[in-house]
Amino acid sequence: MNLLGGVISVSGVAVLTLAIMVVAALGYLLGRVTIKGVSLGTAGVFIIALLFGALFYNNLAGSLKIGDSSYLSQALKIVENVGLVFFVTSVGFIAGPKFFKNLAKNFKSYILLGVIIILAGGISCIGCYYFGITLGGENDHKQFMAMLDGLLSGSLTSTPAFSAAKATVENMYAATPEVAEAYEAAVTVGHGIAYLFGVIGVVLFVQLIPKFVKADMEAERKKLSNADVGEKKAYTGKLIEIDGMGLGAFALAAIVGIIVGGIKIPLSGQGLSGTCFSLTTTGGTLITALVFGHFGHVGPINLMPSKKTLENLRELGLALFLIGAGIAGGASFIQYFKPVYFIYGIIMTIVPMIVGYLFAKYVLKLSLLNNLGSITGGMTSTPALGTLINVAKTDEVASAYAATYPIALLAVVLVSQFLLVIWG
């Protein structure tokens, strides 16, 4: 039996499902390996997904579609997006009850930190460009620019910046369709090369920093709780549940968030014609879930899923997101890998983290967990937030992530496009 007009067979869907389960099982086993108190956690799923994609992508593609492997990338994109919606919507609900009060208290700090982190990434990208040109190993400067812009979006794990960079190089460098395709490919390859360390680097950072500073995590959790300025008043009447687990409310928030994230705002300026900014599914679902979580109900109707439901969907979503992105990325990673580009990507990940951490600690005077939560948001790192929640043993770090993330999201899109404009 075939589905979608013969595109994907039922047996092919079963094989894809089996592959996802195998990657998840092996990934969680790898994530459990602990060396001196540091482990990969859920990021282990991403590493196994990359390896699986590099070794078995073509075999897996053959089981989904006769003669056309492109349908596998579409299937994996669905897995990735479903996971992203589950994870980000859960994070929004969890952070919502305290988010707006916390944001009001630390508004300037979150804006400054989000901008500082992205600017540090942009400056490190410029530094890599001039270093590469000085070495004389890059003959096509425009293609090198496109590659570095892809590396920047990958090092910050930013899909919106990745999409904006591809659209910008198409508009700026499109002498012919073939040339445009080549430059878009450079952006894509750069993004894929840097994405690996972009994920793992921040995951390790939020685990290592508390150990380096010998933090008292119990004391840090109390500081984080004391930063909140009180809870909203509970509804005094009896709430009507859509369903016992809150899945109906969760689905409603996700639907509204996807619609909000799909709204496109045209950008104008040199090289930006036809380019649009949007919150994307990530930003839309995050903001919508924050609002739902903040109010908790509409009249007598409860809009807040249970904590256990949110925790389970958060973990499931993160795993699916990493599997979908990892298998697809692994297919081309080895083919286009170049050591110097990987080093550039490491630089663009490490420099913003260190600059952001020091700025938050010594200038903004943020507590450790507020600092690290803001770093995960400023680096737009979904997997690192999941790791930080496990390290901190409290969901409250999600508030700092959620406050910094939208600022960083907008900044990284604009910086990514600006670099191509000034270099072009």
% of residues, the chain, pLDDT over 70: 81
Question: What letter represents residue 273's amino acid?
Answer: S
DSSP labels for 169-194? HHHHH-SSHHHHHHHHHHHHHHHHHH
pLDDT of residue 361: 93
Phi, psi angle pair for 394, to nearest 5° = -155, 140
- Check pLDDT > 80 for residue 270: no
DSSP3 helix / strand / coil % (the chain, rounded to 5)? 75, 5, 20
Sign of the Cα pseudo-torsion (100, 101, 102, 103, in order): positive
Spatial separation of the C-alpha atoms in residues 210 and 391, rounded to whole Å: 9
Domains belonging to the chain, first-starting first, are 2-230+237-423 (1.20.1530)
Spatial separation of the C-alpha atoms in residues 364 and 118, rounded to whole Å: 17
Residue 146 banded pLDDT, cuts 50, 70, 90: confident
pLDDT, tens digit, 9 for 90 and up, residues 44-87 = 888 898 889 888 888 888 776 544 556 777 888 889 889 888 98
pTM for this model (two decimals): 0.71
Question: What letter represents residue 357's amino acid?
Answer: Y
Q: How many CB atoms lie within 10 A of CB 269?
A: 10
Tell me if residue 289 falls in helix, strand or coil. helix
Q: Specify which of 68-72, 167-171, 184-188 reaches the highest per-range mean pLDDT.
A: 184-188
Query: Degrees (nearest 5) of the Cα angle 408, 329, 139?
Result: 80
Mean pLDDT of the chain: 81
Burial class (CB in 10 A: 0-12, 13-18, 19+), 299: exposed
- Tokens 């092919």, located at residue: 12
Closest CA to 334 of 23, 16, 57, 135: 57
pLDDT of residue 423: 65
- Tokens 């700090």, located at residue: 109
Closest CA to 160 of 252, 90, 264: 264
> Two tokens at 87?
């994870």
User: For residue 185, what are the contacts with CB-CB under 8 A and spacing of at least 6?
Assistant: none
Spatial separation of the C-alpha atoms in residues 405 and 411, rounded to whole Å: 10
150, 194 in Cβ contact below 8 A?
Answer: yes
- Check pLDDT > 50 for residue 411: yes
Closest CA to 385 of 410, 411, 408: 408
Q: Specify which of 54-68, 308-322, 398-412 reaches the highest per-range mean pLDDT.
A: 308-322
> Two tokens at 178?
């073939």
> Two tokens at 228?
């909140």
Query: Degrees (nearest 5) of the Cα angle 300, 281, 198?
Result: 125
Provide the 8-state DSSP code for 34. Answer: E
- Check pLDDT > 80 for residue 24: yes
- Check pLDDT > 50 for residue 190: yes
pLDDT, tens digit, 9 for 90 and up, residues 330-381 = 776 676 677 888 899 999 999 999 999 999 999 999 999 999 999 999 998 8
pLDDT, tens digit, 9 for 90 and up, residues 205-258 = 999 999 999 988 888 888 876 655 444 555 576 788 888 888 999 999 999 999
Spatial separation of the C-alpha atoms in residues 193 and 330, rounded to whole Å: 10
Spatial separation of the C-alpha atoms in residues 124 and 304, rounded to whole Å: 42
Question: What letter represents residue 107's amino acid?
Answer: F
User: For residue 60, what are the contacts with CB-CB under 8 A and spacing of at least 6?
Assistant: 15, 16, 19, 72, 327
